[in-house]
Amino acid sequence: YQTYVKLKAIPTVGPSGFISSWIGAFRFLFHGREIIQEGYSKYRGSAFKVPLVDRWMVIVSGDQHIDDMRKALPDHLSFLDEIENTLQTTYTLGSSLHSDPYHIDVVRSALTRNIAACFPVVRDEIEASFKDEIPEAEDWKKVPAYSSILQIVCRTTNRLFVGLPLCRNPEYRALNIEHTIQVVTSAQAINAFPEFLKPLVANFFTPISRSMRKAEKHLGPIIRDRLEKENEYGRDWPGKPNDLLSWLIEVAYGGERRTVRDLTNRVLALNFAAIHTTSMGFINALYCLAAHPECARPLREEIEAVIKTDGWTKQAMGKMRKLDSFLQEAQRIYGVGALGMGRTVRKDFSFSDGTVVPAGAHVSVAAFATHIDADNYEDPYEFKPWRFSEMREQEGESIRHQMVTPRLDYILFGVGRTACPGRFFAVNELKTLLSHVLLNYDVKMEKPGQVPPPGWFGSAQLPNTKAKVMFRKRKFS
Ligand code: HEM
């Protein structure tokens, strides 16, 4: 309530009374996108606020405000505090992730540096997992795409994270896929209670101890073996796998970092960051391809021409501008929720237009509204697959409009110092996955020409989980 009093100067969209704001918060669960769109239309370029079930959310938009957020220091606007607040990480993911987030640097440095070196194994896992999940058939076959893609992405990502054979273990995969869902739902349950009850309530809802027990069963022996080998033969022991677990161990010099428990926790947490995000990104692109099968030909031509000169490499993926544009356009429309770049305000923060957001408040960007703003994108509701590759042609060799480049009008990965450190790997993985589909299958939607409608809950946009995609062995050129 104290924070609300300080926020009085910022206009509210929807009811603002003490009781009526609860009704507004309930309405937000089912009409979040429309409420934020209403605020965006009225206050684009300035700030407004909406009541959520557990907090007031200040929402900003427009280049200037987003740039202010990009430049803000973490001790003013904190991403980690916001994650702690929304996901209740201390209870749901483990407290050391917040107090010592070194795994983020490992993603930013070692993992990103190794994308080229690890490209062949990731591609190998893509081929193997498609063979298992979606065997090539002469006739059209209906595939429950969402669940198959989750399995494929989980396997592929974990080939890089922990290697063979664990990445293929069904129990290990199920654990990582379910853990994410449990973290999100239990955090929502914990957040429904007042602060002083949270530690008590967390005992009932927290999934971390069960997930950790299961994960330690799989990862414990591998971690112990690697730690022993490093102690015996030194840092670069012969046969040391080149994967995320090794890169984590390399900087886990001692103390709590160098324990089975903490290392297991980091692997679980990075699965949390990587699996559902990448799966949703890929399913969005797959639905767009299946709804626009006419895009297959130009994409195949590009992929085949580049592979001919560069082979299956990271460098080749970097040259595929149409593929990059197609993926980017799918995420522009279907890949972001109504809110993005959430931050908790640590010290009173002044935006450049003078708007002050007090310490303790929460700020987000109107992400979806930004992505479908006609001032940012012509015909914003239309799926234009070559939108971004055409922009890049106009600008010569510019890298500004490639998918990995965060921009004020494209905030899929956030912008600024906390922009997703896994995005270079994620985009490379998405390109390799979609290339594999294009070169080996024909795809179409069960209902031709239509991307299955996504679901919205609160501010989240979720791809349709029920739709079937038709697959058959590639026949068209
Ligand atoms: C298409 C897939 C992905 C999307 C859309 C995505 C999106 C995001 C977004 C929006 C953020 C927060 C940015 C902000 O608010 O400033 C983020 C943070 C993060 N992502 Fe990703 N991500 C994806 C894949 C991955 C992958 C594959 C990894 C790991 C290999 C990863 C690791 C992380 C980590 C560690 C953070 C926290 C960064 C920090 O605290 O500084 N992400 N991601």
Question: Do 221 and 253 share a domain, yes or no?
Answer: yes
Question: Do 359 and 401 share a domain, yes or no?
Answer: no
- Cα separation, 399 vs 324, whole angstroms: 11
Q: How many domains does the chain have?
A: 2
Tell me, what CATH number does 9's domain have?
3.30.43.20
Tokens of 250: 């390399």
The predicted pLDDT at position 29 comes to: 87
How far, in Å, from the CA of 427 to the mean position of ligand 1?
Answer: 11
Ligand-binding annotation for 118, yes or no, is no
* Strand 47-51 relative to strand 77-78, pairing: unpaired
Torsion angles phi and psi, residue 356, rounded to 5: -110, 130
Tell me, what CATH number does 194's domain have?
1.10.630.10
* Amino acid present at 55: R
Final residue of a structural domain among 353, 373, 393: 373
Question: Do 356 and 378 share a domain, yes or no?
Answer: no
Question: Do 113 and 79 share a domain, yes or no?
Answer: no
The predicted pLDDT at position 309 comes to: 97
How far, in Å, from the CA of 242 to the mean position of ligand 1?
Answer: 22
Distances (CA, A) of 150 to 274, 279, 412, 455: 11, 6, 20, 17
Question: Do 181 and 206 share a domain, yes or no?
Answer: yes
How many Cβ atoms sit within 10 Å of the Cβ of residue 297? 12
The predicted pLDDT at position 92 comes to: 87
Question: Do 67 and 198 share a domain, yes or no?
Answer: no
Tokens of 260: 């089975």
What one-character-per-residue DSSP string does 320-365 give?
-HHHHHHHHHHHHHHT--SEEEEEEESS-EE-TTS-EE-TT-EEEE
Question: Do 210 and 315 share a domain, yes or no?
Answer: yes
Question: Do 68 and 214 share a domain, yes or no?
Answer: no
- Cα separation, 412 vs 44, whole angstroms: 19
State the maximum Cα–Cα separation within the chain, in Å, rounded to a whole number. Answer: 66
How far, in Å, from the CA of 8 to the mean position of ligand 1?
Answer: 33
Full domain range(s) for residue 78: 1-92+336-373
Instruction: Name the β-bridge partners of 356.
Output: 350
CA 142 to chain centre: 27
CA 400 to chain centre: 21
Ligand 1 pocket: which of 79, 150, 420 to mutate (most atoms within 8 A of CB): 420
Q: How large is the angle between the packed helices 145-161 and 260-291, nearest 10 degrees?
A: 140
Q: Determine contact, residues 344/78, Cβ cutoff 8 Å.
A: yes
E strand or H helix that includes residue 57: strand 56-60
Smallest Cα–Cα separation from 441: which of 296, 305, 292?
296
* Strand 349-350 relative to strand 460-462, pairing: unpaired
Question: Do 383 and 260 share a domain, yes or no?
Answer: yes
Using the 8-state DSSP alphabet, how is residue 261 labeled? H
Shortest-distance Cα residue to atom 15 of ligand 1: 341
The predicted pLDDT at position 1 comes to: 62
Tokens of 437: 């589909």
The predicted pLDDT at position 157 comes to: 98
Ligand 1 pocket (Cβ < 6 Å) reads 79-80, 104, 107, 111, 270, 273-274, 277-278, 281, 341, 412-414, 418-422, 425-426
Torsion angles phi and psi, residue 144, rounded to 5: -70, 90
Question: Do 345 and 427 share a domain, yes or no?
Answer: no
How far, in Å, from the CA of 84 to the mean position of ligand 1?
Answer: 15
Smallest Cα–Cα separation from 332: which of 267, 377, 276, 395?
377
Question: Do 63 and 188 share a domain, yes or no?
Answer: no
pLDDT in single tens digits along all 477 residues of the chain:
666 677 888 999 987 777 777 787 788 888 999 999 999 999 999 999 998 877 889 999 999 999 999 999 999 999 999 999 889 988 888 878 888 999 999 999 999 999 999 999 999 999 999 999 999 999 999 999 999 999 999 999 999 999 999 999 999 999 999 998 888 888 888 888 888 898 888 887 777 788 889 999 999 999 999 999 999 998 899 999 999 999 999 999 888 899 999 999 999 999 999 999 999 999 999 999 999 999 999 999 999 999 999 999 999 999 999 999 999 999 999 999 999 999 999 999 999 999 999 999 999 999 999 999 999 999 999 999 999 999 998 877 678 899 999 999 999 999 999 999 999 999 999 999 999 999 999 999 988 889 999 999 999 999 999 999 999 999 976
